[in-house]
Amino acid sequence: MTTTVPTEVQAPTFLPTMEPVLRRGRSYLDRALLPGDEPEHRLHTLLERAGERGLDGVVIFGSAHLPENLIYYANYCPTTFHGALVARAGVPPVLFAGKGGARDHPYIRTVSWVSDIRYAAAIGPAAVEVADSWGVPWQRLGVVGLDTTLPHAVRDGIAAAFGDRLTDVDDLVIEQRRQKSPRERAVLAAAEDVARSAAEAATAAYQQGAGRRSALAAADYAARAGGAHDCRISVGAPLAGVAPFSEIGDDRGPLSAVIAAEYLGYWGLATVRLELDPPDAGPMEQVVAGLRPGATVAEATAGVADPFLVNGLGCGLVEAPAGAAPDTVLQANDVLSVVQLHPGPHGLELAVRTVVVDASGARALP
DSSP string, 43-94: HHHHHHHHHTTT-S-EEEEEESSS-HHHHHHHS---SSSEEEEEEETTEEEE
In this prediction, residue 99 carries a pLDDT of: 74
Lowest mean pLDDT among 47-56, 194-203, 315-324: 315-324
pLDDT tens, 205-263? 999 999 999 999 999 999 999 999 899 999 998 765 888 888 889 999 999 999 999 99
**Among candidate residues 281, 271, 295, 278, the one with its CA nearest the CA of residue 351:** 271
10, pLDDT greater than 70? no
More confident residue, 109 or 91: 91
In whole angstroms, what is the distance from residue 223 CA to residue 201 CA?
9
In this prediction, residue 315 carries a pLDDT of: 95
Average pLDDT over every residue of 146-165? 93
For residue 186, name the pLDDT band (cuts at 50, 70, 90).
very high
In whole angstroms, what is the distance from residue 187 CA to residue 335 CA?
12
More confident residue, 8 or 361: 361
Average pLDDT over every residue of 99-124? 87
* C-alpha dihedral, 128 to 130 to 132 to 134, nearest 10°: -150
Look up the CATH architecture of domain 182-364.
Alpha-Beta Complex (3.90)
79, pLDDT greater than 60? yes
In whole angstroms, what is the distance from residue 320 CA to residue 17 CA?
18
Look up the CATH architecture of domain 37-178.
3-Layer(aba) Sandwich (3.40)
In this prediction, residue 22 carries a pLDDT of: 45
In this prediction, residue 5 carries a pLDDT of: 40
Please tell me the chain's helix, strand, coil percentages from 3-state DSSP, rounded to the nearest 5. 30, 25, 45
153 burial level (CB within 10 Å; 0-12, 13-18, 19+): exposed
Domain boundaries, the chain: 37-178, 182-364
Lowest mean pLDDT among 11-25, 89-103, 181-195: 11-25
Q: Measured between alpha carbons, how far is residue 263 from residues 184, 231, 314, 344 in Å? A: 11, 9, 10, 32
More confident residue, 99 or 163: 163
Three-state secondary structure readout of 174-214 = HHHHHCCCHHHHHHHHHHHHHHHHHHHHHHHHHHCCCCHHH
More confident residue, 325 or 183: 183
In whole angstroms, what is the distance from residue 185 CA to residue 138 CA?
37
In this prediction, residue 42 carries a pLDDT of: 97
Mean pLDDT of the chain: 89
**Of all residues in the chain, what percent carry a pLDDT higher than 70?**
91
Which residues pair with residue 356 across a beta bridge? 335, 363
Lowest mean pLDDT among 2-16, 26-40, 136-150, 152-166: 2-16
1, pLDDT greater than 50? no
In whole angstroms, what is the distance from residue 114 CA to residue 87 CA?
11
For residue 347, name the pLDDT band (cuts at 50, 70, 90).
confident
CA angle 301, 306, 312 (to 5 degrees): 45
Sheet containing strand 255-263, edge to edge, reads: 241-244, 230-237, 255-263, 266-274
**Among candidate residues 283, 341, 353, 352, the one with its CA nearest the CA of residue 10:** 341
What is the CB-side half-sphere exposure of residue 63 using CA atoms within 13 A?
Answer: 15
**Of all residues in the chain, what percent carry a pLDDT higher than 90?**
70
Q: What is the pTM of this model?
A: 0.90
CA angle 132, 136, 139 (to 5 degrees): 70
